[in-house]
Amino acid sequence: MDPRPLWLLAELTYKCPLQCPYCSNPLDFAGPRFRRELATDEWCRVFREAKALGVLQLGLSGGEPTLRPDLEELVRTAHRLGLYTSLITSAYRLTRERLAGLKAAGLDHVQISIQGADAELSDEIAGTASYRDKIAAYHYTRELGFPVTVNVVLHRRNLHQVEALIRLAESLGAERIELANTQFYGWALHNRDALMPTKGQLAAAWQVVERERARLGTKLEIVWVLPDYHEQFPKPCMGGWARAYMTVTPAGEVWPCHAAGRITTLTFENVRDRPLDWIWEHSEAFNRFRGDAWMPEPCRSCPRKAQDFGGCRCQAFLVAGDAGATDPVCSLSPDRHLIDAAVAQVERAAQVERQPEEWTYRAAPASRALATKG
């Protein structure tokens, strides 16, 4: 069987104490589709099946994965299987004792999000007072000997803090900082007009990144996730559809990436009904966009198709209304004007110094209200 997956993102729960307006979780995370969370033994079976299929990297994510009381047991199982296991957490109320227990269970790496470089902005963006817990948790992880990644989602309201964020990560002794420009899916797409940065903001931030990379070398790895709306060509999303990644949602649906569940023209299988290897190899959703036979023009005859795989299927669906279209971010796409219009609107608003749009915080009541509206 080829390709085989290397990565599994296990979204253990969609419950989360934070309310970040760019959350990548589905808008209807509080709805019936995700209500019946997998039990401990079901997750352990998923991990075993994933390892047998070829997975080596496991991300334990959410929502907030530390809300699962069985997290230690899940980590222990993953560790015994030889999966390199990362915890992807907000660190809200995460204690030193809990982290020490996770270390003993075999957790390899901790990624802690932060929303801004200071308490005031970080807590405002998160919608929940959490900055102090995060800083404390960074210190605990260092004391316990974990490698640590600082993850920051960048957008219009915090891009000016890139330098302060890098300095903060450096002072905390982190190995990596991921500066991830907002990708517009889920809540981020819903809040796009409030989150989209200006070209000037991005250019200034990029200058800082280049300078700081030269200064820090291997001491702190700075990962810059491109703001794809401002690029000429699409990102090689997930390294190609169903080539290396899969996501299992809290209730057991299996997706080729963490945003794919929004594509209503695909049917997704559930680990409760099928073994993982069958889903990877035979399911309709995983095969639909595998390889390049599905590609329309301009992708089909494009020399870049082996590099970018036609871009992102979710973005094609969400923006152009067709998951089988060329990623509208591509300058060769017939739908590129839709992206240009969104970018231009933000530039115009910035020129007249209008306040950015208000955003909707990611929270269960808003999720249910949006689901009712359809």
Partner 1 sequence: MTPRLHAKARLQRDEVRGREVLLYPEGLVGLNPTGAEILALCDGARSLADIVATLERRYGASGLERDVTTFLDGLAAKGLVVYGP
Where along the sequence are the contacts to partner 1 (CB under 8 A)? 4, 6, 52-54, 56-57, 82, 84, 86, 108-109, 111, 145, 147, 149, 175-176, 218, 221
- Of the pair 94, 174, the CB lying nearest partner 1 is at 174
- Of the pair 60, 195, the CB lying nearest partner 1 is at 60
Q: How far is the CB of 175 from partner 1 (least distance, A)?
A: 6
Q: How far is the CB of 333 from partner 1 (least distance, A)?
A: 29
Q: How far is the CB of 51 from partner 1 (least distance, A)?
A: 8
- Of the pair 177, 266, the CB lying nearest partner 1 is at 177
Among residues 264, 225, 207, 206, which one has the least CA distance to residue 28?
Answer: 264
Q: How far is the CB of 23 from partner 1 (least distance, A)?
A: 20
Cβ–Cβ under 8 Å, residues 202 and 159: yes
- Of the pair 25, 86, the CB lying nearest partner 1 is at 86
Q: How many CB atoms lie within 10 A of CB 33?
A: 17
Among residues 259, 245, 253, which one has the least CA distance to residue 38?
Answer: 253
Buried b (16+ CB within 10 A) or exposed e, 37-62: bbeeeebbbbbbbbbebbbebbbbbb
Q: How far is the CB of 300 from partner 1 (least distance, A)?
A: 30
- Of the pair 147, 296, the CB lying nearest partner 1 is at 147
Q: How far is the CB of 83 from partner 1 (least distance, A)?
A: 9
- Of the pair 70, 221, the CB lying nearest partner 1 is at 221
Tokens 């560790």 — which residue?
A: 79
What is the 8-class DSSP label of residue 326?
Answer: P
Q: How far is Cα 51 from Cα 64, in angstroms, rounded to an integer?
A: 24
Tokens 């296990």 — which residue?
A: 10
Q: Is the preceding peptide bond at 298 cis, omega within 30 degrees of 0? A: yes
Q: How far apart are the first and last CA of the chain?
A: 39
- Of the pair 157, 243, the CB lying nearest partner 1 is at 243
Cβ–Cβ under 8 Å, residues 356 and 347: no
Q: How far is the CB of 271 from partner 1 (least distance, A)?
A: 19
Among residues 304, 291, 24, 18, which one has the least CA distance to residue 181?
Answer: 24
Q: How remote is the C-alpha of 34 from its chain's centroid? A: 18
